């Protein structure tokens, strides 16, 4: 007689949230986690897809802000949209209310896909304002990516042309970094090059997988 075995539901993979200052290297850490077998949910990428691929979204932006919301080729001018909404909370809320349902639907779809994929060891939420929007409550662990302010500013000056004043202006809209660091479960220092960062990422991921089998 074959004895029936008790059904064991599949283990839910840990969900890792990334936080840190602008220019700290969250995207680098997300790419390194992906190289180690994690599935990454990039909320910026989902938002870009909604802006660039959804005709209804483009039409709504033109309805609100006219042709200045588009590039000459008819695609959404994300830089122009960013300038419109950054200093206008009502316009920013308008845009968020339009995009967030699309982004959340994409996040749910990717989470289900990654949970069912046996090659994925963990799920990473690379989402701006993770704590500010309360999405950290959906994560099992939080990683804070740390880098000194002068180094972050140097990176942002090269990649985005930002000044120290622009960085300070942007960070005023976010939770202070010391609060994010205190709320995090792990800190990854990203100030000594990609190889050293990867060493920290390997160590932290190994600990997470050990604690959340």
Residue 78: how many other CB atoms lie within 10 Å:
15
Report the pLDDT value the prediction gives residue 55, as an integer from 0 to 100: 87
Domain layout of the chain by residue ranges: 13-37+121-213, 47-119
Burial 164-185 (b: 16+ CB within 10 A, else e): eeebeebbeebeebeebbeebb
Report the pLDDT value the prediction gives residue 128, as an integer from 0 to 100: 84
| Alpha-helical runs (H) found in the chain | 26-35, 43-53, 55-65, 78-86, 89-116, 149-160, 164-171, 177-183, 194-211
CA 73 vs CA 68, 89, 102: distances in Å: 12, 28, 24
Please give the average pLDDT of every successive group of 10 residues along the chain, which has 213 residues.
45 92 93 97 91 86 90 88 84 89 92 95 93 92 94 90 88 89 94 92 95 79
Report the pLDDT value the prediction gives residue 213, as an integer from 0 to 100: 66
Query: Edge-to-edge strands of the sheet including 141-146?
Result: 38-42, 122-126, 15-20, 141-146, 186-189
Report the pLDDT value the prediction gives residue 8, as an integer from 0 to 100: 41
Nearest-angstrom CA–CA distance, 134 and 16: 14
Nearest-angstrom CA–CA distance, 110 and 30: 15
CB 34 within 8 A of CB 124: yes
Phi, psi dihedrals of residue 141, rounded to the nearest 5°: -140, 155
Nearest-angstrom CA–CA distance, 54 and 4: 50
pTM: 0.84
- Range 13-37+121-213 classified under CATH 3.20.20.70: no
**Long-range contacts from 179-184, C-beta under 8 angstroms, 24+ separation:** 180/19, 180/20, 180/131, 180/144, 181/144, 181/146, 183/19, 183/131, 183/136, 183/142, 184/19, 184/142, 184/143, 184/144
Nearest-angstrom CA–CA distance, 152 and 2: 62
Report the pLDDT value the prediction gives residue 126, as an integer from 0 to 100: 94
Which tokens sit at 201? 């990422």
């Amino acid at each position: 007689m074959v004895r029936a075995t008790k059904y064991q539901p599949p283990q839910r993979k840990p969900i890792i949230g990334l936080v840190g200052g602008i220019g700290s290297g969250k995207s680098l850490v997300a790419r390194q986690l992906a190289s180690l077998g994690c599935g990454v949910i990039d909320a910026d990428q989902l938002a870009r897809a909604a802006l660039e691929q959804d005709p209804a979204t483009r039409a709504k932006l033109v309805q609100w802000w006219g042709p200045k919301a588009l590039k000459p080729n008819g695609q959404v001018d994300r830089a122009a949209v960013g300038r419109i909404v950054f200093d206008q909370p009502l316009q920013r809320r308008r845009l968020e209310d339009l995009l967030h349902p699309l982004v959340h639907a994409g996040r749910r779809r990717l989470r289900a896909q990654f949970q069912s994929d046996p090659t994925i060891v963990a799920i990473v939420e690379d989402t701006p304002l993770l704590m500010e929007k309360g999405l950290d409550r959906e994560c099992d662990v939080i990683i804070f990516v740390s880098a000194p302010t002068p180094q972050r500013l140097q990176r942002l000056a090269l990649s985005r042309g930002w000044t120290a004043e622009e960085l300070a202006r942007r960070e005023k809209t976010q939770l202070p970094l010391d609060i994010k660091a205190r709320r995090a479960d792990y800190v990854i220092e990203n100030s000594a090059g990609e190889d050293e960062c990867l060493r920290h990422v390997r160590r932290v991921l190994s600990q997470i997988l050990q604690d959340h089998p």
